[in-house]
Homo-oligomer: A and B are copies of this chain.
Amino acid sequence: MERVLLDYGSGGKASHRLIGELFLKYLGNEILDRLDDAAFLHIGSPISMSTDTFTVDPIFFPGGDIGSLAVHGTVNDVAMLGARPKYMTCGFIIEEGLPMADLERIVESMGNAAREAGVLVVSGDTKVVPKGTVDKIFINTTGIGEIFVAEAPSGHRAAPGDAILISGFMGDHGLAILSKREGLTFEAPVLSDCASLNHLIVRLLEAIPEVHVLRDPTRGGLATTLNEIAGQSGVECRIFESQIPVRPEVSGGCSFLGLDPLYLANEGKFICILPQEHAEAALAIMRSDPLGADAVQIGNVRGEHPGKVVLETPLGGTRLMDMLEGEQLPRIC
């Protein structure tokens, strides 16, 4: 079986072959094909720019792989500012000895994800490092997009009276990774929800530019992301436990592993906070898209406890949902 050698990252002939035969095959376009030190791009200002490094273990998991995840993750972060993601760079760090077939599968998956999201990969970098100095493959993606709303959504804009919506079930990605890593099998297999949300976001914001906050609850999950928003905006996020959609198999898996699904990573969901009077219209748009089919309102923004996330239990009690100190779930994305 052919494997990735150190030579492939040298900048010499072997590198150029790898770029030509593999990267350009799946990611190529008029801009990338020029292979200059930097890409020459046209873009309208203002722009949204975001970076993310993916170290997920395992690199192939139910519902996706590190390649598609690396595209989805950055597309989503760029889109959350009210932007159309346009261009992306990819930085690969590959462990010497990685099977070439694995690399090809990952790069092909990136190409498909980028095409679906409508994003061009315009510049890249490949480092191959000696066996043992990185685990298999890590990928950085950095994206830019054109902001098309007059006032960009931001974690700083949540206001008392706003509704808090989420686009679907919580915790799928986190549990899919953990169950694969731990070798657990459930009756109904849990798939990662990883997906690019940009087309749905564009439709939502074109119809309802009044959206205050868009955020994807990735690392740290819904609870951590709402804490960030509550802190940035100086408001209370009040959510209702019975309204938060969690699949029974995720809920069951979490009980078994001693985890809370509200702290588990999602990679194809978003939180939308907007004035209550626009909530129904926003939910209708979200539900018209397969990626938002299970969208619901889970709470609202209040002024009572600034910086806090308060969970109302089904019995009417309340509980503070603090940010955790750490998660002890490394390499979830």
Q: Which residues of A contact B (CB under 8 A)?
A: 5-16, 34-53, 55, 57, 76-78, 80-81, 83, 87, 89-93, 96, 122-125, 127-130, 132-135, 138, 140, 142, 144, 147, 152, 154-156, 215-216, 218-220, 224, 228, 232, 323-331
Using A12-B323, A40-B47, A89-B142 as known contacts, list a sample of 20 further A-B pairs with CB atoms less than 8 Å apart, ordered by residue number in A: A5-B326, A8-B326, A34-B156, A36-B80, A37-B76, A37-B216, A39-B49, A41-B48, A42-B46, A51-B140, A51-B142, A52-B91, A55-B127, A55-B134, A91-B142, A127-B330, A128-B330, A132-B132, A140-B142, A142-B142
The distance from the CB of A258 to the nearest CB of chain B, in whole angstroms, is 16
Residues of B near A232 (CB, < 8 A) are: 34-35
Which residue on B lies nearest to A133, using beta carbons?
Answer: B135
Per the bound structure, the CA–CA distance linking A148 and B330 in Å amounts to: 43
A81 touches B10 (CB 8 A): no
A326 touches B78 (CB 8 A): no
Residues of B near A147 (CB, < 8 A) are: 40
Residues of B near A38 (CB, < 8 A) are: 48-50, 77-78, 80-81, 83
B7 touches A326 (CB 8 A): yes
